[in-house]
Structure 1
Amino acid sequence: MNSTEPLRPPVHVPVLLERVAALLAPACAADGAVLVDATLGLAGHALALLDAHPGLRLVGLDRDPEARAEAARRLESAGHADRATLVPAVFDELPDVLARLGIDEVQGVLFDLGVSSLQLDRPDRGFSYATDAPLDMRMDPGAPRTAADVVNTYSAGDLTRVLRVYGEERFAARIAAAITREREREPFTSTGRLAELVRAAIPAATRRTGGHPAKRTFQALRIEVNDELGALSRALPAALDALALGGRVVVITFHSLEDRMVKQVLAAGAGDRTPPELPVPLPELGPVLRLLTRGGEAAGAAEVAANPRAASARVRAAERIRRAA
């Protein structure tokens, strides 16, 4: 595409849309209900919920100015601009955002984690290993640290840790060693060179299965650059604290690290914390959440066929049934 051509709005297919809408519907139906879309993106889920619930108010958070601008355009086009407040924020800033808006509690919170369609479909953002682009990966283009900074400055040990923990990459040490060796010759600046190095560092037999060899490395770098798991570990408890009685939280994850964290937090809220040595449960230590999904629910075959990005998606949800003591 010529750089002077206007950018076309990206095609956006919200993942697990029908299931998410059904899970949030009871909490969003009342007039004046507030939904926080903590990862607004292109507002696909938010638009559907605003369409379905005329009394719903949306608070949409996103650190990406391009995503917010496109979401605002779509919300205005659908006639929902007067019911939507869009905030430039990372989702772990949720308590501060609600405090600034004077909102004490909310009826719904949605997290659609991972990289957005806009970010994936814009090669210049550096999220994709499929095209050569600057090695960036920042969800907030104004953030100080890029993927190039990580690749070019982290020690071999730190790179190995990032790739192994966040990418679940079996060959993390081999890839890290290759990176540190090659960056001495020339610093890494492009996705293409990094993707090719990862391909060469992984054994040939492994390269023939499991998709692109650089997939896990790019995932790990993206998570590190944007502190995605750290932000989630802070944001999810804050979201649960903000829920009104009967309020619901819905979380869509795209890899096992996120899903495991969400599972543990929701399970803890749905458990009884009465000490086992006591003869009867103590009401004040009883569950504060009711789980709404059986494990992490996956997209159906028809949705995956229509939208391959849904293949790794899992959704978990819970409802607040009691205030914590």
Structure 2
Amino acid sequence: MSNYHNPVMLQECIDALNIKPNGTYVDVTFGGGGHSREIMKHLGENGKLIAFDQDADAQRNKIDDKRFVFVDQNFRYLKNFCRLHGATKVDGILADLGVSSHQFDEAERGFSIRFDAELDMRMNQQSDLTAKQVVNTYSEAELHRIFGIYGEIQNAKSLAKTIVTGRLNGQLSTVADLKNTIAGLIPRGKEHKYLAQVFQALRIEVNQELEVLKDFLQQAAEVLGTGGRLVVLSYHSLEDRLVKNFIAKGKFSGEVEKDFYGNDQKPLEAVSRGAITATEEEIKENNRARSAKLRIAVKK
């Protein structure tokens, strides 16, 4: 498991879930099963854990235990599949967002700037849209939008134009094709950061990550029973902002709505003041923890 994916802030997540031995919990990003296995240790014989993962590779890590249910679906379908497995109200939901270490390390998946591979980046390998299609078929305006919004890239307009011009000479099929095409735009000394932002933008578009996250958060608020905990680990500001706003306001933008008596109309209450971050020791051992932000909320 640890080779597949080293779970970030494992103890903090378990503490945040406040696990009851006979409770029902959901791990919507199963991956290598690190968080799930730790949750199982705290469950009694009547406890239950439902785990979601749309990546076929994650199925190899399934836990052989009658209290464990594996759902091979995207967690945007949280509510339907919880209901299907008899969990209309649950005691805690954990989400470890983003890409697993395993997905980054599998060269052929095309997630990493370290390897040359086909531009893929699909978390669900059954889905149709790939990074190669985005790069080769999206209009200049669409590319400008995703690099500007999802990658927060300053020269997003020039980047989009360069890609559209570059693909006139032939399809951009691989990581190397893309890197070579945009080489002239990459700031000196900031190569890694810039390429990481480009890849982040493509990955978010391919997997519709922000739309999926919004669907998930709204459903999580419905699926949690009163006093149930929502625990979310995010790795970049776009995700964290959505999580923070939803916990604070019950929506993703604008002000919190109030009822006739002036009471806040929001389903969740923040448990921690601000986001929890990893310790220096954990960051030394697991570089992925460096950008992680953990937010905890309780269902009112």
1:213 deviation in Å?
Answer: 2.7
**2:157: which partner in 1?**
173
**2:237: which partner in 1?**
256
Pick from 2, 7, 17: which aligns with 2:10? 17
Structure 2 CA distance, aligned partners of 1:272 and 1:180?
42
Structure 2 CA distance, aligned partners of 1:161 and 1:288?
32
**1:300: which partner in 2?**
279
Task: Tell me if structure 2 keeps the 8 A contact 1:251–1:316.
Answer: yes
Task: Tell me if structure 1 keeps the 8 A contact 2:275–2:294.
Answer: yes
Structure 2 CA distance, aligned partners of 1:141 and 1:43?
19
TM-score (norm 1): 0.86
**1:43: which partner in 2?**
33
Structure 1 CA distance, aligned partners of 2:82 and 2:59?
18
Structure 2 CA distance, aligned partners of 1:123 and 1:287?
43
**1:145: which partner in 2?**
129
Q: Which runs of 5+ in 1 are unaligned?
A: 1-7
Alignment of 1:177-192 (within 5 A): 177-192=161-176
Aligned residue identity for 1:178? T
Task: Tell me if structure 1 keeps the 8 A contact 2:2–2:32.
Answer: no
Task: Tell me if structure 2 keeps the 8 A contact 1:152–1:187.
Answer: yes
Aligned residue identity for 2:272? T
Distance change in 2, residues 1:58/1:175 (3 Å): same
Between stretches 223-232 and 49-58, larger displacement belongs to: 49-58
Task: Give the root-mean-square deviation of aligned CA atoms.
Answer: 2.0
Structure 1 CA distance, aligned partners of 2:191 and 2:248?
31
**1:82: which partner in 2?**
66
Structure 2 CA distance, aligned partners of 1:265 and 1:217?
27
SS at match of 2:94: strand
Residue 178 of structure 2 is aligned to residue 194 of structure 1? yes
**2:78: which partner in 1?**
94
What is the count of residue pairs matched by the alignment?
296
Alignment of 1:268-279 (within 5 A): 268-269=249-250, 273-274=257-258
Task: Tell me if structure 2 keeps the 8 A contact 1:296–1:316.
Answer: yes
Structure 2 CA distance, aligned partners of 1:164 and 1:53?
44
**2:201: which partner in 1?**
220
TM-score (norm 2): 0.93
1:48-78 Cα offsets, whole Å, 9 max, x none, are: 1111333431111111111122x21xx23xx
**1:231: which partner in 2?**
212
Distance change in 2, residues 1:155/1:34 (3 Å): same
1:210 deviation in Å?
Answer: 7.0
Aligned residue identity for 2:30? L
Aligned residue identity for 1:57? K
Task: Tell me if structure 1 keeps the 8 A contact 2:21–2:42.
Answer: no
